[in-house]
């Protein structure tokens, strides 16, 4: 397992264990983690606190994102993909996109390299969550 994706998965499980939506994210620069986070919609009543947004908030004002890689356990939605495009993150590595196809094409059309690890562990985590909490999941993706 990619060590950084493992941290993102740990973030997702931490979010699940605190009553939230199991999606985690890590920002890496020069092989070091400079930010991490998980979805906090439930825990903070914050609809903008998708995992990637929480991660980028945690990283803070890092200057250029050009040499950063964003990891997420799930393919980013338009909100998070919008952050990637606006702030010039050039590479995104995701755990899976089978349970949610997200905004891959939008990112790629703006020159972002997107790598999908298609991990069974990430799929199982989301499948289980979505089957147990379909309304919460639909709320989180604006459906």
Strand ranges of the sheet holding 68-72, from the earlier edge strand across to the other edge? 32-38, 24-29, 68-72, 91-94, 113-116
Which 90-129 residues touch a copy of itself, going by CB under 8 A?
Answer: 103, 106
Find the shortest distance in angstroms from Cβ 47 to a copy of itself. 5
The span from the CA of 45 to the CA of 35, in Å, is 21
Of residues 18 through 77, those in contact with a copy of itself by CB under 8 A are 41, 45-49, 53, 56-57, 59-63, 65, 77
What 116-120 contacts at long range (C-beta under 8 Å, 24+ apart), as own/partner pairs, is: 116/75, 117/2, 117/5, 117/93, 119/1, 119/5, 119/95
Alpha-carbon distances of 68 from 18, 87, 106, rounded to whole Å: 28, 10, 19
**Minimum distance from CB of 121 to a copy of itself (Å)?**
25
Give catalytic status of residue 3 as yes or no. Answer: no
85 sits near a copy of itself (criterion: CB under 8 A): yes
The active-site residue, picked from 3, 11, 52, 133, is 52
Q: How far is the CB of 37 from a copy of itself (least distance, A)?
A: 10
**With binding defined as CB under 8 A, does residue 134 bind a copy of itself?**
no
CB atoms within 10 A of CB 120: 11
Interface residues toward a copy of itself, by CB under 8 A: 41, 45-49, 53, 56-57, 59-63, 65, 77-83, 85-88, 103, 106, 139, 141-142
Catalytic residues: 52
């Amino acid at each position: 397992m990619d060590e950084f994706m493992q941290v993102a998965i740990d973030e997702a499980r931490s979010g699940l264990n605190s009553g939230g939506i199991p999606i985690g994210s890590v920002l890496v620069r020069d092989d070091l983690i400079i930010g991490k986070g998980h979805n906090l919609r439930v825990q903070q009543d914050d609809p903008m606190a998708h995992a990637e947004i929480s991660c980028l908030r945690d990283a803070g004002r890092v200057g250029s994102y050009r040499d950063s890689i964003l990891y997420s356990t799930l393919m980013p939605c338009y909100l998070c993909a919008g952050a990637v495009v606006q702030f010039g993150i050039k590479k995104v590595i995701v755990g899976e996109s089978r349970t949610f196809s997200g905004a891959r094409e939008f990112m790629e059309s703006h020159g972002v390299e997107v790598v999908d690890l298609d991990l069974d562990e990430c799929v199982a985590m989301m499948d289980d969550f979505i089957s147990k909490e379909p309304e919460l999941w639909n709320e989180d993706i604006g459906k």
